[in-house]
Amino acid sequence: MRSIIFANYIARDTQRLGATIDVQHSQVGFLGNLVLNWDCGGQDTFMENYFTSQRDNIFRNVELLIYVFDVESRELEKDMHYYQSCLEAILQNTPDAKIFCLVHKMDLVQEDQRDLIFKEREEDLRRLSRPLECACFRTSIWDETPYKAWSSTVYQLIPNVQQLEMNLRNFAQIIEANEVLLFERATFLVISHY
């Protein structure tokens, strides 16, 4: 998903990418903010190491946490444990951070089961997230859902968003448009719309 959003890959090109080995760090400048991506690929050694030795460093001054769950993971209990470890670190270091959970690879779930499975996962995540609140999104690299999810999350990073939306509304009225979308230049994520 990271390659699609930040490196302009198309879905079929991601098949050439291997599994995450070690920890992959990436940084992206986004709306004047620095977006840090720590991809541990669910590897126990790295997850435990980061939660013990670098916890305070990683989770200090966090604006938002985006946690990606593989819907087909066979280790759901362990996945939830790591997620809760992140939440504990957020509560200790940056309790005002916003939390987003992406339930990824939903295309691998039978179509008639997707709504049910996502709803169950969302309920579990909201319950486990208390006292924090989380917003959940279902995603698949084969459709537009990663863009919708990431657009919703980065929307939280926009300072003075009400002013921006008012300006878009005024612009739409001036040019007599029914709809106006504002995209981020590098990723084409929707920043705002009217």
49-92 tens-digit pLDDT: 766 777 787 888 888 888 989 999 888 898 899 899 989 999 99
Q: What pTM, to 2 d.p., does this model score?
A: 0.76
- Using DSSP bridges, classify how beta strands 190-193 and 181-183 pair: parallel, antiparallel or unpaired: antiparallel
Q: Which domains does the chain possess?
A: 2-157 (3.40.50.300), 160-194 (no CATH)
Helix (H) or strand (E) holding 26: strand 24-30
pLDDT of residue 168: 92
d(CA 25, CA 6): 13
136 in Cβ contact with 122 (< 8 Å): yes
CA 178, CA 172: separation in Å to the nearest integer? 7
In angstroms, the CA 194 to CA 188 distance is: 16
**Which candidate, 15, 10, 124, 143, places its Cα nearest to that of 67?**
124
